[in-house]
Amino acid sequence: MFLFKWLWKNMKGCRGIYIVALCMTVICQSMYILTPYFTQQITDTFIINDNAAKNLQEHSDVLIGMLLAMVGFTLLRGAIQYSSNLMYEHSSQSLIYNVRKVLFDNIERQDATFYNRYRTGDIMTRVSGDLEMVRHSIAWIIKTMVECIVLFSASLIFFFSIDWLMALCLIALTPVILFITWMLKKNVGPMWVINRDKLSALNTAAEENISGNRVIKAFAREDHEIERFDEHSKEYNQANKNAAFMWLKFFPFLEITAQSLSVVMLICGGLFVINGRITLGDYMAFSGLIWTLSNPMRTLGNIVNDLQRFTASANKIIEIYYGSPRIVTRSDAVDKPGRFEGRVEFDHVSFSYGDTMILDDISFEIEPGQTVVIMGETGSGKTTLIDLIPRIYDVRSGEVRIDGINVNMLKLEQLRGNIGVATQDVLLYSDTIDGNISFGDTSMSVDEVYKVAAAADADGFIRRLSDGYDTIVGERGVGLSGGQKQRISLARALAVKPSILILDDTTSAVDLETEKHIQDALNNLDFACTKIIIAQRISTARTADKIIVLKDGKILEQGTHDELIQRKGYYREVYDLQK
């Protein structure tokens, strides 16, 4: 019931059309009894009646009227059915648009924990295949359910109005059908859940192989990945077969029971005609409508099967639809409009992933406009540390403060709007280079784009491209070198003129000459900016106001370049290696 309430909620704007469509379905299915009714009257009055010839001669206009009515009602029923199908399609498409919009909005606003928990292929399955199953349910499954209920009910009423005993004989098999259907629902439901999970795993494998095809080729792992994908495909294929075979296991029982109605009709109806309990016209009416009992019974299995698929898909969608991010703007957040000064403080900060401690009791201060370099071994917590500043993650204990205010008390939009981030693993969108650079501020002028590109030492190679700044970047930056992508990423971060600039090993893929040019540009920005840089090159750290060295999530040493080379610690070791 909750699922249908959720569907109704998301049908806002098309509920009226959907209700009209349902009403038209009720009318359309009810009209099926009219043709057998006229057949009954024609048979008893103009065919088997003792005065059939006289009736035909004297009341031929009545016969013609009945025949025309049969044709007219048939055409009217077709028009109503066609119109209602259009309305169902319109309503289902509107519903899916509403759900997809909310779903994607919610996905976009989720924090990093969400993306650590859900695989990309799984998310893609939910916003594509699962949504299509929901649309199918609204457009066809519910419609079919209404058709079956109305058709079955209208026929029963008509049958009982003719002869109650004959009607009871025909519905005697209904309990058997209901029991078979209940058994089908009980067995096939879990199988569609498994089927949906296997599809998610298959999509994940496909997404990873497509996005990582260069790595696969570099290691000549095509055969291995093809084999791995084939395994996922086989599992999905088997899950589909299991669900389908379960349905086919019950199908013969449903079909035989439904077809048995014809046997009951022949035996009981024949005896009742012979005994004079019903007329031949009554028998014709029963015979003409026997399918209105057998078809709903036969269709019931399909409906239950599709409803189980719908339930499995809808539950997966609702899981994300109602999911809420943990990192949000507090109701009592401080309003800090305008530009931040850029003072950053870590006050006894600790952070862990589950039971794994990543940062332990980290404390330091960065004054506005300073340049601070974070160094340390792989896995020492450098990236996690900078992720705490824009609240990609929240601290477990301690405080991260900007301009003296705990970042948890700042509005997320204002906080992140004052921070520019360039990561080592660069993601560029399938857009022009101009569009990628101005991603954070689409109102930028062309001259401003040129300026930040020059600061990132990207202007030169961009202009040498076939279409310059209008060059379309391939998916994830395919076609550009690692260093070129890093420089575009740096330009994108500079474009928003941040109060705090965070660079995560952004110059690791560029040569020393380019790095020197970028450093000079960063030191001569035309706006005040606090710079926090993760780096492993001494050339980057040499001119920093402060260098912080992390080891196993703790601050091992901090100070200036001159101070740290005197201490003969980690920094001095790196310095000696790079001399």
Taken as a whole, the chain contains a residue count of 579
- Residue 430 DSSP symbol: S
Strand order in the sheet with 546-551: 419-422, 500-504, 530-534, 371-376, 546-551, 554-559
Please tell me the predicted confidence (pLDDT) of residue 79: 92
Q: Which residues pair with 538 in a beta bridge?
A: none
User: Nearest Cα to 208, choosing from 191, 188, 228?
Assistant: 228
Q: CB of 30 within 8 A of CB of 154?
A: yes
Strand ranges (E), 251-329:
none
The pTM of the whole model exceeds 0.75:
no
Please tell me the predicted confidence (pLDDT) of residue 82: 92
CA atoms within a 13 Å half-sphere pointing along the CA-CB vector of 362: 36
Please tell me the predicted confidence (pLDDT) of residue 480: 78
Separation CA 104–CA 320 (nearest Å): 9
Q: Which residues pair with 22 in a beta bridge?
A: none
Separation CA 147–CA 293 (nearest Å): 12
Instruction: Say what angle helices 280-289 and 164-171 make with each other, to 10 degrees.
Output: 30
Give burial (CB, 10 Å; 0-12/13-18/19+) of 164. exposed
Separation CA 153–CA 165 (nearest Å): 16
Alpha-carbon distances, residue 549 vs 109, 560, 572, 577 (angstroms): 33, 11, 11, 16
Domains of the chain: 2-321 (1.20.1560.10), 344-578 (3.40.50.300)
Please tell me the predicted confidence (pLDDT) of residue 50: 67
Please tell me the predicted confidence (pLDDT) of residue 476: 59
Tokens coding 472 = 């379309």
Give the gyration radius of the chain's Cα atoms: 36
Q: What is the mean pLDDT of each run of 10 residues along the chain (579 residues)?
A: 82 89 90 80 72 72 82 89 90 88 86 80 80 84 86 84 82 77 74 76 75 67 79 84 78 76 80 82 77 74 77 85 86 89 92 86 91 88 90 91 92 90 80 86 87 86 86 71 82 88 76 74 83 86 89 90 86 82
